[in-house]
């Protein structure tokens, strides 16, 4: 098993990529700590981890609140004695996120509090735990829109994921000699609730899919497999990367219909 004897924290574990990664990590031998503010979804994900033969706990924590993140990391070490993998996956895409003229300051601030400050806080309190464990792997969920502008305006989200990408590169450089690897996961458009609530008509779906050379949305399970690679020792010489799992969307220029 690729994560045997590893302890892994996954934020945003109540659904989507976080849930599928938690299940896969459990199957691969990790002790999984599922973190979210959606307690019902988080507990449901934990039951799915256990049903698949994995082991873990659920911890309620708002990653935009320093005290809650610090307490979460303390609980991880108290429960399992160490931290080896930190998957900073939690994030939001606000329904009122639009272009610069239409996006409110409140939506901008909320998006950055969760998507950027949240990753910062998880690293602030997680990295000392990784040091105590002798090193480990951090995976930060960015997005293909950190490299490309979004076809549908979502300025706060796009800017926040660009910040996650640049933060990842600097963290990787700073901590490379400490046996701590830091990589940015950049998914393409996925068939998840987060995206499908916006692409709620065939026309909207087709407008996005015209950009994807593979011609389909990705699945959360496919992203989870990429996270497994970055979390495991198979990626021992990979750090500071922008790990694209995007169906080719960043590889080709496609004229929108």
Q: Which residues are catalytic?
A: 157
Shortest CA distance to 83 belongs to which of 138, 129, 39, 36? 129
Closest CA to 146 of 187, 182, 181: 187
- Our measurement of the distance from residue 131's CA atom to the centroid of its chain's CA atoms, rounded to an integer in Å, reads 21
Q: How many whole angstroms separate alpha carbon 245 and alpha carbon 247? A: 6
Nearest to 86 by CA among 140, 37, 161, 47: 140
As a residue count, the chain comes to 257
Residues in Cβ contact with 239 at an 8 Å cutoff, skipping those fewer than 6 apart: 172, 176, 181, 182, 183
- Strand-strand pairing, 136-141 and 31-36: unpaired
């Amino acid at each position: 098993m690729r994560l045997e004897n590893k302890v892994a924290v996954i934020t945003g574990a109540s659904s989507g990529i976080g849930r599928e990664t938690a299940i896969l990590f459990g199957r691969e031998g990790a002790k999984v700590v599922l973190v979210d503010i959606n307690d019902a979804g988080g507990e449901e994900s934990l039951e799915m981890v256990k049903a698949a033969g994995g082991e873990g706990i659920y911890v309620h924590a708002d990653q935009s609140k320093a005290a809650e993140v610090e307490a979460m990391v303390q609980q991880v070490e108290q429960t399992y004695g160490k931290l080896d993998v930190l998957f900073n996956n939690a994030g939001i895409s606000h329904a009122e996120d639009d272009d610069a003229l239409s996006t409110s300051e409140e939506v901008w601030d909320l998006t950055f509090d969760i998507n950027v400050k949240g990753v910062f806080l998880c690293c602030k309190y997680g990295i000392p735990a990784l040091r105590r464990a002798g090193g480990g792997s951090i995976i930060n969920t960015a997005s293909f829109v950190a490299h490309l502008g979004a076809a549908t305006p979502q300025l706060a989200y796009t800017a926040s994921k660009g910040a996650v990408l640049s933060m990842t590169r600097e963290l990787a450089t700073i901590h490379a000699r400490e046996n701590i690897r830091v990589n940015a996961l950049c998914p393409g458009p996925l068939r998840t609730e987060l995206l499908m609530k916006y692409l709620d008509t065939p026309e909207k779906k087709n407008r996005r899919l015209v950009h994807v050379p593979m011609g389909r949305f990705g699945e959360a399970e496919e992203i989870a497999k990429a996270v497994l690679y970055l979390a495991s020792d198979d990626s021992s010489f990979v750090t500071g990367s922008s790990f694209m799992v995007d169906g080719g969307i960043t590889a080709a220029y496609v004229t929108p219909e």
